[in-house]
C-alpha cells in the first residue's frame, strides 16, 4: 500500500497565522505512526514570492517523509529555487527562471511534479519544456509502475468561478500526452482552496484542500461578491492511497491544532 499526503496553498507571508496553520499540518504528519511514501505540497508556498517567505517555508516544510514542493501562481521561480530548494545560481549569479519540474521515484510508484505557473500571471500553463520532461519521465518508467502527476493549477473547471478564471489552460496538450501513457494513474493539484475530486483525460483529478483558507462554493452563503474566502475553517490534508490492486482511494482529513 502506497500512501501520499497532499497539502496545498500555505501562502506563507511572514505573519503568524499562515505559519501556525502550516505548522499544525506538518506536525500532524510527523506524528503519524506510519511512514508515508511521500508528501506533496502543490504550490502557493509563498504569498508574495519573497526570499523571506521562502526562508520561513524552508523552516516549516520539513518532514521525515519524502517531500516534494512545487510552485504556484503566487510563487517566484528564482527565489523558490535559490532559497527553498537551495539551488545554486549560474556562473553569472542568476538563479534559473526555468520551470521547476521534479520527480520522486518511490518504491512501486513515481511522483512527477510539474511547474504549471506562468511568471507574472495567475493562470496556469504547462510549458513545452515541461511537457517534454514529463514525456521523458513517463517513457522512462516501466508500464507496470504507476505514475502520479502533480501541479498547482487544475486543468478543468471546478464550477468555482473565481478559480476557473485562472485555472490551467492548454490542457488538451496534457490530455494528448496522457493518452500515450496508460500507467499515468492520476493528477494531483491545488489552487482551489477546497477539496474536490473530478476526472481529466480519463484519470482521477484530485484537488487538495487549502491550508491557509477555504474557498466558499458559489451556492454557499456569502455576504457579497468578495466574500468567497473562508478564514475560519481549519486546514486540511488529502491522503492518496494506492492499493496493491492498483485502485486509488483518497481520504480528506481536517487538521485541528490541539496544543
Burial of 180 (0-12, 13-18, 19+ CB in 10 A): exposed
For residue 130, the model assigns a pLDDT of 98
| Rounded Cα–Cα distance for residues 11 and 241 (Å) | 26
Cell numbers at 137, concatenated: 519521465
Q: Which residue has the cell 493518452?
A: 179
DSSP 163: H
Q: Which residue has the cell 496545498?
A: 8
| Positions of the chain with pLDDT under 70 | 89-95, 226-227, 259
The string of pLDDT tens digits covering residues 110-146 is 999 999 999 999 999 999 999 999 999 999 999 999 9
Cell numbers at 104, concatenated: 520522486
The string of pLDDT tens digits covering residues 53-80 is 999 999 999 999 999 999 999 999 999 9
Amino acid at each position: 500500500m502506497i500512501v501520499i499526503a497532499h497539502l496545498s496553498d500555505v501562502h506563507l507571508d511572514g505573519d503568524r497565522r499562515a505559519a501556525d496553520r502550516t505548522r499544525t499540518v506538518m506536525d500532524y504528519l510527523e506524528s503519524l505512526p506510519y511512514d508515508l511514501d511521500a508528501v506533496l505540497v502543490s504550490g502557493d508556498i509563498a504569498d508574495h514570492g519573497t526570499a523571506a517567505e521562502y526562508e520561513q517555508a524552508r523552516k516549516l516544510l520539513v518532514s521525515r517523509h519524502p517531500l516534494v514542493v512545487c510552485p504556484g501562481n503566487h510563487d517566484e521561480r528564482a527565489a523558490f529555487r535559490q532559497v527553498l530548494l537551495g539551488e545554486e545560481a549560474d556562473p553569472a549569479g542568476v538563479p534559473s527562471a526555468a520551470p521547476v519540474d521534479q520527480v520522486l521515484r518511490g518504491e512501486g510508484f513515481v511522483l512527477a511534479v510539474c511547474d504549471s505557473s506562468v511568471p507574472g500571471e495567475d493562470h496556469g500553463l504547462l510549458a513545452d519544456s515541461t511537457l517534454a520532461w514529463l514525456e521523458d519521465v513517463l517513457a522512462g518508467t516501466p508500464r507496470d509502475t504507476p505514475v502520479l502527476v502533480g501541479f498547482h493549477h487544475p486543468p478543468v473547471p471546478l464550477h468555482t468561478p473565481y478559480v476557473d478564471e485562472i485555472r490551467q489552460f492548454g490542457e488538451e496538450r496534457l490530455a494528448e500526452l496522457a493518452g500515450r501513457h496508460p500507467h499515468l494513474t492520476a493528477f494531483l493539484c491545488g489552487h482551489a482552496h477546497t477539496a474536490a475530486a473530478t476526472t481529466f483525460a480519463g484519470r482521477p483529478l484530485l484537488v487538495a484542500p487549502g491550508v491557509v483558507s477555504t474557498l466558499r462554493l458559489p451556492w454557499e452563503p456569502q455576504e457579497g461578491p468578495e466574500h468567497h474566502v473562508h478564514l475560519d475553517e481549519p486546514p486540511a490534508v488529502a491522503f492518496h492511497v494506492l492499493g496493491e490492486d492498483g485502485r486509488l482511494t483518497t481520504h480528506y482529513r481536517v487538521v485541528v491544532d490541539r496544543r
